[in-house]
């Protein structure tokens, strides 16, 4: 009996070892080995039942717990292996996935350029792009193949969920630490473009939304990854100031060359207003598409973006004011310029609502409301300048009308006298 129990324990341990490497021992590409995997778990369940009923052990390891631990161990080993061999595995996978356009493009870029190994670096983010691609493949394999075989404990073991949860935790720890290392480098000294950090941000978001967000463990949890990218989004917003200002100058110069023509007969403002807000709305659209749920991060971005809005719109208003001073007497152009400022205010109100309106943090609301007041003051100033510029014309017109009225009145008196004489 003791010998049998010893053999049973050895078999149990052997099964645990096999299951802890299920990806190697039972490749999903082999239907035969996948059936062996199912049989192995069934055998483990039988051993557990035997221990309970025949050996009368009070609390033998539950089969579901054993399988769950083995799955986690396998996934942990898979993560470590991919992290250490990411470049090699990625290139192998890329060759196999010849129909994946995205992978082919990257493969073509690499061919003939370098033979160096891609690793985590403060000079490139390529490692993380490739690594997350491989992790996505692993989660898909666990969800679509291994979950269908390791389905003996549906309420306790979901291989797809365990895979996503485990890989995300490991990825979170490593990527967070790596980005903290990047953040310690002053933004002006970073070798990686802010746009590349933004692309990685969106890639992490896609990974989380498609693989992690759907699992029960992530329900009602606000992900932390947006905080890791905050320094780099701020860098992008800072750089966006210069881009937006350049866009502004080009828009106004284009308007000057066309004489500030109105965009159409139905719109009484020129194209520069549209161009300026196209740039600002695109910037806001990118921030919004990050789909943030952390109010602290949202407030930080909105505060910084409101600085950009204020800087750009005040620069536009000042440019219009300077132009206005040189077009005095050109009533139509002056009207267009005043309409531009008014349209600026209307577009600002719309952008304010898109950003959150009354739900915005106090600092952002205060800055945008103050900006609206400043634009209103500029419009009042232009209106006063316009009225002053047309006062001589108004005075002359009034005098001409007065003379005409006097002449009409004189003619009427003359006609009255003639009528009286005829009656006499």
Per-residue pLDDT tens for 210-222? 999 999 989 889 9
Q: Report the range of poorest mean pLDDT among 87-101, 200-214, 287-301, 343-357.
A: 87-101
Average pLDDT over the chain reads: 89
Distance separating alpha carbons of residues 165 and 341, to the nearest angstrom: 52
Tell me how many degrees the CA angle 246-248-254 measures, rounded to the nearest 5: 105
Q: How many CA atoms lie within 13 A of 63 on its CB side?
A: 20
Is the pLDDT assigned to residue 136 strictly greater than 80? yes
DSSP character string of 5-55:
HHHHHHHHHHHHHHHTTHHHHS-TT-HHHHHHHHHHHHHHHHHHHHHHHTS
Task: Name the CA radius of gyration of the chain, rounded.
Answer: 36
Distance separating alpha carbons of residues 287 and 201, to the nearest angstrom: 11
Distance separating alpha carbons of residues 359 and 365, to the nearest angstrom: 9
Distance separating alpha carbons of residues 242 and 251, to the nearest angstrom: 14
Give φ, ψ of 292 to 5 degrees: -80, 145
Is the pLDDT assigned to residue 419 strictly greater than 70? no
Specify the pLDDT at position 392.
Answer: 66
Distance separating alpha carbons of residues 411 and 370, to the nearest angstrom: 58
Check residues 402 and 127 and name the one with the higher pLDDT: 127
Specify the pLDDT at position 111.
Answer: 46
Kindly give, in sequence order, each residue whose CB lies less than 8 Å from that of residue 409, ignoring residues fewer than 6 positions away.
none
Length of the chain: 424
Tell me how many degrees the CA angle 51-54-60 measures, rounded to the nearest 5: 20
Is the pLDDT assigned to residue 389 strictly greater than 60? yes
Distance separating alpha carbons of residues 396 and 258, to the nearest angstrom: 31
Q: Report the range of poorest mean pLDDT among 64-68, 247-251, 331-335.
A: 331-335
Instruction: Check if the beta carbon of residue 383 is closer than 8 Å to that of residue 338.
Output: yes
What pTM, to 2 d.p., does this model score? 0.84
Q: Is 335 in a helix, a strand, or coil? A: helix
Distance separating alpha carbons of residues 28 and 150, to the nearest angstrom: 12
Is the pLDDT assigned to residue 114 strictly greater than 80? no
Is the pLDDT assigned to residue 367 strictly greater than 70? yes
Specify the pLDDT at position 397.
Answer: 76
Is the pLDDT assigned to residue 400 strictly greater than 80? no
Specify the pLDDT at position 105.
Answer: 52
Domain boundaries, the chain: 2-228, 230-397
Check residues 217 and 412 and name the one with the higher pLDDT: 217
Q: Which fold has domain 230-397?
A: Tetracycline Repressor; domain 2 (1.10.357)
Terminal alpha carbon distance of the chain: 155
Specify the pLDDT at position 101.
Answer: 46
Specify the pLDDT at position 113.
Answer: 44
Is the pLDDT assigned to residue 286 strictly greater than 90? yes
Six token digits for residue 291: 């789909």
Six token digits for residue 285: 């659209």
Q: How confident is the model at residue 244 (pLDDT cuts 50, 70, 90)?
A: very high
Averaged over 369-377, what is the pLDDT? 98
Six token digits for residue 112: 């003939």
Indicate the burial class of 272 (C-beta count within 10 angstroms; 0-12, 13-18, 19 or more).
buried
Scanning 258-294, the segments in alpha helix (DSSP H) are: 271-289
Instruction: Check if the beta carbon of residue 194 is closer than 8 Å to that of residue 231.
Output: no
Residue percentage of the chain with pLDDT more than 70: 88
**In this predicted model, what pLDDT tens digit does every residue of 28-72 receive, in sequence order?**
999 999 999 999 999 999 988 877 766 666 666 789 999 999 999
Q: How confident is the model at residue 409 (pLDDT cuts 50, 70, 90)?
A: confident
């Amino acid at each position: 009996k003791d010998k049998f129990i010893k053999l049973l324990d050895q078999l149990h341990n052997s099964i645990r070892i096999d299951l802890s490497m299920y990806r190697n021992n039972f490749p999903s590409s082999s239907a035969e080995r996948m059936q062996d995997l199912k049989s192995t778990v069934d055998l483990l369940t039988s051993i557990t039942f035997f221990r309970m009923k025949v050996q009368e052990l009070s609390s033998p390891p539950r089969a579901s717990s054993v399988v769950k631990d083995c799955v986690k161990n396998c996934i942990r080993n898979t993560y470590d292996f991919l992290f250490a061999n990411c470049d090699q595995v990625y290139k192998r996978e890329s060759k196999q996935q010849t129909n994946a356009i995205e992978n082919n493009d990257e493969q073509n870029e690499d061919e003939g350029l370098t033979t160096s190994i891609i690793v985590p670096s403060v000079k490139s983010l390529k490692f993380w792009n490739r690594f997350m691609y491989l992790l996505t493949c692993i989660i898909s394999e666990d969800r679509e193949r291994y979950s269908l075989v390791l389905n003996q404990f549906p309420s306790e073991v979901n291989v797809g969920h365990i895979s996503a949860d485990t890989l995300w935790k490991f990825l979170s720890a490593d990527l967070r630490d790596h980005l903290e290392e990047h953040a310690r480098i002053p933004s002006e000294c970073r070798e990686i473009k802010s746009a590349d950090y933004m692309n990685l941000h969106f890639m992490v978001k896609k990974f989380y939304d498609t693989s992690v967000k759907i699992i029960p463990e992530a329900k009602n949890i606000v992900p932390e990854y947006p905080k890791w990218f905050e320094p780099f989004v701020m860098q992008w917003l800072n750089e966006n100031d210069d881009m937006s200002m350049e866009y502004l100058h080009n828009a106004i110069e284009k308007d000057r060359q066309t004489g500030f023509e109105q965009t159409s007969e139905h719109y009484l403002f020129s194209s520069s207003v549209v161009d300026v807000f196209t740039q600002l709305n695109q910037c806001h659209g990118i921030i919004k598409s990050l789909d943030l749920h952390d109010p602290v991060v949202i407030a930080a971005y909105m505060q910084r973006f409101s600085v950009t809005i204020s800087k750009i719109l005040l620069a536009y208003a000042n440019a219009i004011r300077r132009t206005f001073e040189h077009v005095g007497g050109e009533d139509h152009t002056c009207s267009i310029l005043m309409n531009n400022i008014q349209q600026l205010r209307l577009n600002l109100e719309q952008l304010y609502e898109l950003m959150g309106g009354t739900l915005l943090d106090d600092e952002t609301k205060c800055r945008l409301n103050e900006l609206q007041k400043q634009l209103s003051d500029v419009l009042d100033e232009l209106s006063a300048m316009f009225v002053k510029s047309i006062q001589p014309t108004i005075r002359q017109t009034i005098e001409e009308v007065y003379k005409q009225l006097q002449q009409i009145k004189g003619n009427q008196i003359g006609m009255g006298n003639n009528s009286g004489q005829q009656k006499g």
